[in-house]
C-alpha cells in the first residue's frame, strides 16, 4: 500500500499510507482534486501574481505581496528548513509533489479555470510556506499602527484608547477547554470556532491522516501539509485562538536616491545602501486586454518597504514605511512544529512541538487522555521598546531595535475551565489591543451554569447570541425616559425606545427587535462618524488600498461604539442628542423585517458570481460581540463577511464522539454533492460526527 483515499458521508477525505511522506503526498493530491481553484488562487496570492487573472481589484494585494517580499521570504525559510530539518523539508516536498500530481491529473477542473481561460500552474517546494505567510501576514494587524498614528495626530493621543477594539481586519476565535473534573466522562473536552473571513471554498479543510506513526483528524489549511491549528490524535487534542500579540513593526524611513541606487538613514546617523530592484505585475483587463505595472522593491536594514519610497506616498504624506516581521528576520516560519504535532501522544509532546512555532502567535489549549492539560502562548514575539507596538517609529533614531524574543507565557485553568476569545489574557504582555471581554465572559458564564458537560452539550455555546455590548446604547435610550413634556419623545420614538429596553439582547436571525436595535446602532454610528468633531479623522492617509480597511472611520466608530458612548467626554459631542436623533430617525422608518433579513452571509470569492452569491447569502444570527461572532460593519452594512470558519468539539474520552463542521462543504468544486452539504448544519449550529474507523468509510482510490 502506498496510499489509500476514503470518504465519509460528508465527502471528507480520509487518507491512509505507509509513511508520513507518502501520506503528505496523498494529502497534496486529494487537496488538488477537491480544491484546485482555491490552490491556484492561494499560489498566485503568495507570489503576488493574482491580478494577472483576477484583474485590477487584486493589484493592491499583489503590490503588498511583492513589496513585503512574501515569496522571497518563503524561499528563504524553505532553504533554511532544508538545512536545519531535512525530514520536514522532504515531507513538504512530498506534499507539493502530490499537489502537482493532483493538478495535472484532474480530469474535471473547477469551472473557474474555463471561465477565465486559466490552466493550473506548478507548485514549488516553498509554495506551502508562501501560502502560510500570505494567509497570516495581516493576522497581527500591523496596519492598526497606522490607524493609531492617524487618529492620534488628528484627535489627540487619548483617542488611541477610545478607539481600541477588535479591529475590522483582525481575525479572532473562540476556544474553551473543560477539564475532566467538569465533564460527564472524566476526560477533557476542547471546543471552539475560529473567526475568519468566510471564503468559498472555505479556509479550513477537514481531513483524516493515518499512517503507522500517527492517526490524526483535524482542520488543515489548504495548500499546507499536516494539521496545524486544530487536531486530535486519539490520545491528545489541541486547538488555538489568535493571541492578539504584536510581533510586526513599522518603521518610518528616510530614503534618498543616489547614482548607485537607494540609501536609507540608519539609527547611527549615516546613510546605508538599501537593496533595490523592480518587478512587473501583469493585470488582466476587459476583453482580453492586459496591462503591465512596474513595482519598485526596496529593502532597508529594518525590512522591506511596503509603502512609499524616496519620493514619499504623495504630497501630503512624504514618507516611506518598512515592515519588520519575524520570518523575514529569522528565515523560520515554524514548519518544524508540524510533524511533531502529528506525532504527539501527550500534552508534553504538543508543548515541545510548539516551542518551534513562529507565526501567527496563538493561545493554545490542549488535553490528553491521561489528564494532562496545556494552556500556553505559542509563537515568536520580539523584545523591543513599547513605542514600536503603538505606531510607526523613526528608523533613523536609535532605540527601536529588536533585542531578543519573549518567552511565551503560560496560564492555568479556573474552576476546571480555560476560556480564550481574543480578550486580554495570558498573552497580555505581548499585545497592545485585544478583543472586548464579552465573548469570553459569556462563554465562562455559560460553562459555569452546568456542573458537568458532555461533547453533545457544547455546540449550544457556539451559537449563543446574547449581545452584552448593547448595554451602553441601551443605557442612553433608558436616559430618554421621564423627560419633561416640552422635550419628550414623539410617541413613535417613545414606543421604539420602550420596545428596545424590553428586548432580550439576543441577535437572533428571526428577531424583529434585533433588527430595530441594529438599525438604531447603525444610525448612531453614522451620526458620530459624520460629526464635525471627528471630521479630521475621516480622511485616511494615502496608504495602499489593501491597508485602507484599518483606516476607515466608520468601522472604527462601529467597533469602538461602547467606549465612545461610555467615556466621560467625546470631544464635546452631545451623545444624548445623537442617540435621540438616531432613535427618531429609525422610528420614522423602522425596519419592516427581522435581523436575518439584512444580516446575511457574504462569503469572499476570488471570482464573484452573482448567482452563487444569491444562493449563499443566507440569514445569520449573531453579531460581532456575540459568541456566535458573525460580524457586520454597523453604519456601513449588516452583511457579514467574517464568522466561524469552522466549529469543532474534541472529546478526549472517545474521539468518535467528537464533532465538526465548516461553512459550505468539504469540496471546492461547484456541482459536487459535498460543495454545500454542510451549510445547513453550519447555519443551524449543528455538527457532523467525526468518523475515524476506515471500515465505516467508502474507499475512493489507491494511489
Q: How many C-beta atoms surround the C-beta of residue 269 within 10 A?
A: 9
539-578 as b/e: b if 16+ CB within 10 A: ebbbbbebbbbbbbbbbbbbbbbbbbbeeeebeebebeeb
Alpha helices in 391-479 (DSSP H): 438-448, 459-462, 471-478
Burial of 411 (0-12, 13-18, 19+ CB in 10 A): middle
Among residues 609, 511, 567, 77, the alpha carbon closest in space to that of 328 is found at 77
> Residue 239: enclosing H or E segment and its boundaries?
strand 236-242
Rounded distance between C-alpha atoms, residue 638 and residue 602, angstroms: 10
Alpha-carbon distance of 215 to 15, in angstroms, equals 10
Task: Enter the C-alpha cell of residue 325.
Answer: 516581521
Residue 298, strand partner residues? 276
Give the phi and the psi of residue 579 in degrees, each rounded to 5: -65, -40
Write the DSSP assignment of 519-550 as a string of letters.
HHHHHHHHHHHHSGGGGGGTS--S--GGGGGG
Task: Identify which of 39, 48, 7, 2 has the alpha carbon closest to the alpha carbon of residue 22.
Answer: 2
- Does 173 qualify as catalytic in the annotation? yes
Among 173, 179, 210, 511, the active-site one is: 173
**What whole-number distance in Å separates Cα of residue 354 and Cα of residue 221?**
17
Give helix 59-67 / helix 20-47 axis angle, nearest 10°.
110
Polymer length of the chain? 703
Based on DSSP, count helices (H) and strands (E) in the chain, helices before strands: 24, 25
- Coil vs helix vs strand at 647: strand
Task: Identify the helix (H) or strand (E) that includes residue 24.
Answer: helix 20-47
What's CA 605's distance to the chain center, in Å?
16
Cα separation, 436 vs 433, whole angstroms: 9
Whose CA is closest to 384, among 375, 376, 395, 373?
Answer: 395
**Taking the mean position of all CA atoms in its chain, how far away is CA 77?**
22
Q: Smallest Cα–Cα separation from 59: which of 318, 281, 321?
A: 281
Q: Which helix (H) or strand (E) holds 323?
A: strand 320-324
Contact indicator for 238, 216 with CB cutoff of 8 Å: no
Residue 288 zone, left/alpha/beta (φ > 0; ψ -120 to 50; rest): left
Strand order in the sheet with 290-299: 255-258, 261-265, 271-284, 290-299
Cell of 678: 454542510
CA distance 372 to 144: 37
Q: Please list the active-site residues.
A: 173
Amino acid at each position: 500500500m502506498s496510499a489509500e483515499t476514503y470518504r465519509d458521508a460528508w465527502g471528507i477525505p480520509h487518507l491512509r499510507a505507509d509513511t508520513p511522506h507518502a501520506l503528505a503526498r496523498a494529502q497534496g493530491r486529494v487537496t488538488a482534486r477537491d480544491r484546485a481553484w482555491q490552490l491556484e488562487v492561494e499560489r498566485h496570492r503568495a507570489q503576488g501574481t493574482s491580478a494577472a487573472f483576477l484583474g485590477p481589484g487584486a493589484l493592491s494585494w499583489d503590490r503588498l505581496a511583492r513589496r513585503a517580499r512574501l515569496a522571497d521570504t518563503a524561499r528563504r525559510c524553505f532553504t533554511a528548513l532544508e538545512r536545519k530539518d531535512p525530514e520536514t523539508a522532504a515531507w513538504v516536498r512530498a506534499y507539493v509533489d502530490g499537489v502537482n500530481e493532483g493538478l495535472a491529473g484532474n480530469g474535471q477542473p473547477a469551472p473557474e479555470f474555463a471561465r477565465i481561460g486559466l490552466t493550473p500552474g506548478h507548485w514549488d517546494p516553498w509554495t506551502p510556506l508562501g501560502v502560510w505567510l500570505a494567509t497570516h501576514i495581516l493576522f497581527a494587524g500591523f496596519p492598526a499602527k497606522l490607524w493609531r498614528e492617524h487618529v492620534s495626530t488628528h484627535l489627540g493621543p487619548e483617542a488611541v484608547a477610545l478607539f481600541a477594539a477588535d479591529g475590522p481586519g483582525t481575525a479572532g476565535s473562540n476556544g474553551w477547554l473543560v477539564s475532566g473534573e467538569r465533564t460527564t466522562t472524566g476526560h477533557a473536552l476542547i471546543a471552539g470556532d475560529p473567526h475568519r473571513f468566510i471564503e468559498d471554498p472555505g479556509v479550513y479543510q477537514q481531513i483524516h491522516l493515518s499512517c503507522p506513526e500517527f492517526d490524526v483528524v483535524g482542520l488543515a489549511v489548504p495548500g499546507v501539509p499536516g494539521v496545524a491549528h486544530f487536531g486530535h490524535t486519539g490520545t491528545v487534542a489541541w486547538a488555538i485562538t489568535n493571541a492578539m500579540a504584536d510581533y510586526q513593526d513599522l518603521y518610518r524611513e528616510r530614503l534618498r536616491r543616489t547614482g548607485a541606487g537607494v540609501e536609507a538613514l540608519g539609527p547611527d546617523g549615516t546613510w546605508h545602501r538599501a537593496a533595490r530592484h523592480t518587478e512587473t505585475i501583469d493585470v488582466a483587463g476587459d476583453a482580453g486586454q492586459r496591462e503591465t505595472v512596474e513595482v519598485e522593491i526596496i529593502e532597508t536594514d529594518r525590512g522591506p518597504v511596503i509603502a512609499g519610497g524616496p519620493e514619499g506616498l504623495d504630497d501630503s504624506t512624504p514618507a516611506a514605511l518598512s515592515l519588520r516581521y519575524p520570518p523575514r528576520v529569522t528565515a523560520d516560519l515554524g514548519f518544524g512544529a508540524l510533524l511533531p504535532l502529528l506525532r504527539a501522544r501527550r500534552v508534553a509532546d504538543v508543548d515541545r512541538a510548539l516551542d518551534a512555532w513562529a507565526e501567527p502567535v496563538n493561545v493554545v489549549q490542549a488535553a490528553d487522555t491521561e489528564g494532562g492539560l496545556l494552556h500556553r502562548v505559542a509563537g515568536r514575539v520580539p523584545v523591543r521598546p513599547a513605542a514600536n507596538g503603538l505606531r510607526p517609529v523613526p528608523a533613523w533614531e536609535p532605540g527601536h531595535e529588536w533585542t531578543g524574543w519573549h518567552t511565551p507565557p503560560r496560564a492555568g485553568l479556573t474552576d476546571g475551565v480555560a476560556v480564550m476569545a481574543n480578550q486580554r489574557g495570558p498573552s497580555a504582555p505581548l499585545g497592545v489591543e485585544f478583543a472586548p471581554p464579552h465573548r469570553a465572559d459569556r462563554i465562562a458564564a455559560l460553562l459555569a451554569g452546568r456542573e458537568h458537560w458532555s461533547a453533545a452539550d457544547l455546540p449550544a455555546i457556539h451559537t449563543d447570541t446574547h449581545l452584552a455590548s448593547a448595554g451602553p446604547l441601551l443605557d442612553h435610550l433608558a436616559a430618554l425616559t421621564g423627560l419633561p413634556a416640552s422635550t419628550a419623545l414623539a410617541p413613535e420614538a417613545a414606543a421604539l425606545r420602550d420596545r428596545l429596553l424590553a428586548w432580550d439582547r439576543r441577535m437572533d436571525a428571526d428577531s424583529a427587535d434585533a433588527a430595530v436595535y441594529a438599525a438604531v446602532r447603525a444610525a448612531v454610528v453614522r451620526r458620530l462618524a459624520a460629526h464635525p468633531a471627528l471630521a479630521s479623522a475621516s480622511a485616511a492617509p494615502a496608504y495602499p488600498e489593501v491597508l485602507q480597511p484599518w483606516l476607515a472611520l466608520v468601522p472604527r466608530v462601529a467597533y469602538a461604539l461602547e467606549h465612545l458612548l461610555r467615556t466621560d467626554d467625546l470631544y464635546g459631542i452631545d451623545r444624548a442628542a445623537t442617540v435621540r436623533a438616531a432613535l427618531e430617525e429609525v422610528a420614522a422608518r423602522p425596519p419592516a423585517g427581522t435581523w436575518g433579513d439584512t444580516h446575511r452571509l457574504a462569503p469572499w470569492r476570488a471570482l464573484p458570481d452573482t448567482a452563487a452569491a444569491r444562493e449563499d447569502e443566507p440569514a445569520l444570527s449573531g453579531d460581532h460581540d456575540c459568541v456566535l461572532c458573525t460580524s457586520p460593519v454597523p453604519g456601513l452594512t449588516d452583511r457579514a463577511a467574517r464568522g466561524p470558519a469552522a466549529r469543532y468539539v474534541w472529546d478526549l474520552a472517545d474521539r468518535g464522539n467528537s464533532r465538526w463542521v465548516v461553512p459550505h462543504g468539504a469540496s471546492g468544486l461547484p456541482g459536487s454533492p459535498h460543495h454545500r452539504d454542510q451549510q445547513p448544519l453550519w447555519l443551524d449550529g449543528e455538527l457532523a460526527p467525526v468518523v475515524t474507523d476506515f471500515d465505516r468509510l467508502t474507499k475512493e482510490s489507491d494511489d
